[in-house]
Amino acid sequence: MTDQPQSAIVAEGLTKSFPNVRAVDHLSFDVHAGEIFGLVGPDGAGKTTTLRMLAGIMPPDEGTARVAGCDVVHDPEGAKHHLSYMPQRFGLYEDLTVDENIRFYADLFGVKKAEREDCATQLLQAAGMSEFRKRLAGKLSGGMKQKLGLVCALTHRPKVILLDEPTTGVDPVSRRDFWRILYELAAEGVAILTSTAYLDEAERCHRVALLHQGKLLFCDTPANLKAKLGKGVLSVTSSEPRRLRDQLEHAIGISSLVLTGDGLHIVVDDAARRIPEFEARLNNAHVPFNAIQQVTPTIEDLFVDAVGSGASFHAS
C-alpha cells in the first residue's frame, strides 16, 4: 500500500548469542523514513549488539535485517551505501583538526569536495561549532567531540543513521544541539535509530523500543507507552524514605515501587482509592511524609513496573 510509511530499517527475529549470554533475543521492529526511533535499555540490554548487526559488522545467529531495502547480510555493500553508523566510541583523529576529520570521513565515503563543503558548513553551524573548524579534535570538549562524530558520520548524506549512545556523558547544551540536528535530519526524511540509556531522552523519540536482556519489552510512542500505565503513579516524599518504603511496599494495590532519593514513586491499580488508604497507613505508623500526589507516568515507571528496579539507567 502506498500510503504506508516507508520502512527504512526492518529487523525480524534478530538474535545473537555470546558464550555466556544471549545478547539479542528474537528482536523485531521497523523504523520509518523521517522517524527518530529510540533503542532504550539499561547497561547490557543488547543495544550495541543490535546496532552492530544492523550496521552489517556482526552477523546475526538468526533473523534478518534490511536497511534501505538492502539485506545487511547478503548485500552489506548496498546497505552501507545508505547508512552511517556512529559507534559508542567514534573514531575521531585527535591530532587532526575539525575540518581535517570531516575531510577524512568525506574522502572515505567518496564525497565530492563541493558537496562536502556545503554539508560541513551547514552541519557545523547547526552543531554550534562553526568557530572551531581549525581546532584539533583532541582539544574539543566531550560534547563537541560527539557532535563532530555526528557531522563526520553525515558527510555522505545517508538515508539511515545508527547512533550508539551518542549523548552519553555529553553536557546539556551539546545534547540539545545534538537533538536539534536529529530533528532536522528526520524532517528531511532520514531514518534515525539511536540507542540511549537516558530515560528522559527516550521521551524525545517518535517511537521507542524498550529492551531488557536482549528482549523487546514494549515498542510504541512515548505517549502510548505511558498510557499503558493506566493504573496511576503516585509520588510521595519523606524525611525518612526507607521507613516510608517499609510501610508501603506490602500495601494492597501496589504494582511496583521505586525509591527516588527523597521518597517513592509507586505504580498503583487505582490512584484515587489508594491515596487515602496509604496516607492512613503512614499516619498510623507515625511515618513523616508530605502529601501523596498522583503524577504523570514516566517511561522509567513503565520500565520498573515491567522488570523491577534493578536495571541501571544513566541519570540525566
Ligand X SMILES: Nc1ncnc2c1ncn2[C@@H]1O[C@H](COP(=O)(O)OP(=O)(O)OP(=O)(O)O)[C@@H](O)[C@H]1O
Quick one: which of 8, 11, 14, 23 contacts ligand X (CB under 6 A)?
A: 23
Site for ligand X in 117-156 (CB under 6 A): none
Question: CB of 170: closest distance to ligand X in angstroms?
Answer: 15
- Note the residue count of the chain: 316
3-state secondary structure 49-93: HHHHHHCCCCCCCEEEEEECCEECCCCHHHHHHHEEEECCCCCCC
Give the torsion through C-alpha atoms of 246, 252, 258, 260, to 10 deg.
-70
Which residue number, 50 or 97, has a Cβ lying nearer to ligand X? 50
Residue 38 near residue 15, CB atoms below 8 Å: no
Question: CB of 55: closest distance to Mg ion in angstroms?
Answer: 13
Which residue number, 47 or 66, has a Cβ lying nearer to ligand X? 47
**Does residue number 43 form part of the binding site for ligand X (CB under 6 A)?**
yes
- Comparing C-alpha atoms, which of 112, 132, 26, 10 is closest to residue 71? 10
Chain residues binding Mg ion by CB under 5 A are 47-48
Quick one: which of 33, 37, 41, 185 contacts ligand X (CB under 6 A)?
A: 41
> What would the x/- binding string for ligand X be over residues 188 to 227, using CB under 6 A?
---------x------------------------------
Quick one: which of 25, 37, 48, 222 contacts ligand X (CB under 6 A)?
A: 48
Quick one: which of 33, 40, 45, 199 contacts ligand X (CB under 6 A)?
A: 45
Instruction: For CA atoms 174, 177, 181, 183, give the dihedral sign.
Output: positive
Which residue ranges make up the site for ligand X (CB under 6 A)? 18, 21, 23, 41, 43-49, 197
